[in-house]
Amino acid sequence: MQHLLRVDLADFLLVQQEKFEEWKTFEKWVREHAETGKPLEHFTGQAEFYSRTFRVTEHVLIPRPETEELIEAVKPLLLGSDVVVDVGTGSGIIPITFKKELPELRMYATDISENALTIARVNAKNLEADVQFEQGHFLEPVMDVEIDVVISNPPYVPEFERENLSEVVMHDPELALFADDEGLAAYREIIEQINNMKKLPRLVAFEIGHDQGELVPGLIMTNFPQANVQVLQDINGKDRIIIWQNSA
């Protein structure tokens, strides 16, 4: 309702007893959400992430709190001179946030979906963040760039988990949610691409599913036996973040 009235919380509390034409729209949203699970963010067209407002549509994932934890885990590990790529960027929340927090970074972002990249570019423009967006399959568009840091929140939900997801989550694009090979296909492909990069990144960070805390490190160590791999837990104590560091 605040979104429809374009007021902050304090003003909304002052006027909430009055009747507005916007209440009809609000009530329609509530009914549709109850009937279909359509998330609030798809009605308003925006979502909050790391204290910033991002444009979202049905073509991109709605930002999750767990991804803010990925930002918090990676941010202290970044150097000012780093060239960083976010793989599977969606709405662009990760590269835009890092560019706003650490303006000296050189940021790239990739996605296979042109619809997603359109939203990401809008967000970068609105938030005045200089990010270079490229369309392509995971790291493909930047294979000739000397990348220092790779970050990715790729699709990691196994197909067999589909029936367990909430109606709200099922409004996210399937391309950004589901992965073959029990949810590991995207990690496997990104790791293989890293193996063929111009230069081995010094740091790779993944967001993972809560039950992938052994499987993803296993994929990494198979290809990079000398890698230093840490698994970090989220605020709920579930495996959520992989920090993979390579020695120079």
Q: Is residue 137 part of a domain?
A: yes
Q: What pLDDT is stored for residue 167 in this prediction?
A: 61
What's the rounded mean pLDDT across residues 232-242?
97
What's the rounded mean pLDDT across residues 25-43?
72
pLDDT digits (tens, 9 = 90+) for 100-155: 999 999 999 999 999 999 999 999 999 999 999 999 999 999 999 999 999 999 99
Asked if residue 181 and residue 86 are part of one domain, the reply reads yes
Asked if residue 63 and residue 22 are part of one domain, the reply reads no
Asked if residue 203 and residue 80 are part of one domain, the reply reads yes
What's the rounded mean pLDDT across residues 7-34?
60
Positive or negative, the CA dihedral 197, 203, 207, 211 is: positive
Going by C-alpha positions, the residue among 110, 108, 50, 100 that lies closest to residue 82 is 108
Please list the alpha-helical segments (H only) found in the chain: 2-5, 9-15, 22-36, 40-44, 65-74, 93-101, 114-126, 174-177, 180-183, 185-195, 215-223
State yes or no: pLDDT of 185 exceeds 80. yes
**What's the burial of 232, exposed, middle or buried (CB within 10 Å: 0-12/13-18/19+)?**
middle
In this structure, which amino acid lies at residue 96? I
* Tokens linked to 52: 């910033």
231-to-116, 130, 136, 234 alpha-carbon distances in Å: 29, 30, 28, 10
Q: Is residue 226 part of a domain?
A: yes
As for how many domains the chain has, the answer is: 2
What's the rounded mean pLDDT across residues 168-193?
87
Asked if residue 82 and residue 9 are part of one domain, the reply reads no
Q: What pLDDT is stored for residue 8 in this prediction?
A: 62
Asked if residue 79 and residue 31 are part of one domain, the reply reads no
Give 124's strand partners: none
30: domain range? 2-36
